Amino acid sequence: MRLDAYRHIRRGAWSVRRSSRVVGHVPTLILADVRFVVRQAARRRIVRTMQREVCAHVQGIPTDAARPLEARRVRFSPYAGPAFTLEDGTPIAAAALVFLGVDGACWAVMGDVECVR
| pLDDT over threshold 60, residue 115 | no
pLDDT grade, residue 12 (50/70/90)?
Answer: very high
- Domain span holding position 66: 3-116
Task: Give me the pLDDT at residue 66, please.
Answer: 79
Q: Tens digit of pLDDT for each residue in 35-56?
A: 999 999 999 999 999 999 999 9
**Please, what sign has the CA dihedral across residues 91, 92, 93, 98?**
negative
Give Dmax over CA atoms of the chain in angstroms. 44
CA distance 57 to 2: 12
Residue type, 40: Q
- Counting the structural domains of the chain, the total is 1
pLDDT grade, residue 68 (50/70/90)?
Answer: low
Closest to 116 in 3D by CA, of 60, 70, 78, 75:
70
| pLDDT over threshold 60, residue 113 | no
